[in-house]
Structure 1
Amino acid sequence: MKSLCKLLLVTMVVWLGALSLTPAEASVANDPGYVRIYRSGSMTFYLNKRSIAIENYNPPYYRLSVTTRTEFSPILRVPETTEDGARMVFDYNYDNKTIRFVSMDGRPYSFRDATINVARHEGWQRPHEATAAALAAFRVVYGIPFY
């Protein structure tokens, strides 16, 4: 009976220890509300499909706002493994095959090349996940790729 109690105690200690090593927040990798859009080093960026808002629908002009989520590699051993990313707003011109990066977290996007031509495979320099987020959001909302 003592050995059974010791075994149960050891099992509980190991189990509780394992729980303390798991991330504070569960991974969004298997959550159907998120789609993986970009990976950079130890970070993986996801598009929160539930956060997409259609701000303008006037074909061929569209405006979508989206939120990304960043998941850090467990190798980094940071206390919080995921965090909300930026709220980004994009203007789409389907006829010209262009996407304009309007704002990020309510602040206007001020880089000189805020418009990209998707047909020429252009992309914004920063933030890295912006191009992938813009393309993924359009596909999620309208069910077709933006060129």
Structure 2
Amino acid sequence: MLTTGIPQIVAGIAVFLVCGVLLFAGKVRKRYWCLSCLVTALLVGRGVWCANDFFDLGMGTPKVFSPENWEKTKPEQRHFMVDDLQEQIALIGMPEDEVRELLGAPDYQDTAACLSYVIAQPFDEVTLDLTLKSGIVTQVEQTSH
């Protein structure tokens, strides 16, 4: 089940605050407070991990473009490296066969006029569309479907 991670983060903070108050009130020993810190770290860590998956924060996703990073990254998370791709490589004017060598086979549309690569999902599918004329890229744009 995919959750936002917010309940775990809130629970971790609540455990920490309750045990902190009880420690200073003299109701809890210091070792139990230290244990509550460990539980807090686990809950908050789990919450952040879930939030990363749910909100697509991109933690652990490559941001620097390389053909290897492009290939190993899930299509829906490629948007994190599209800016770097466009800064590093002049796609306009590039022949179709070089594009295919660089980015692989298109995910969405593969015609003589357009190559489309999925770069984001799940709410709106976003593609990186490369318009071709005579086998040469003439336009690059991101399109929501």
TM-score over 0.5 for the pair: no
User: Which protein has the bigger strand share?
Assistant: 1
What is the TM-score normalised by the length of structure 2?
0.31
What is the TM-score normalised by the length of structure 1?
0.31
User: Which protein has the bigger helix share?
Assistant: 2
Specify the structure having the higher radius of gyration (Cα): 2
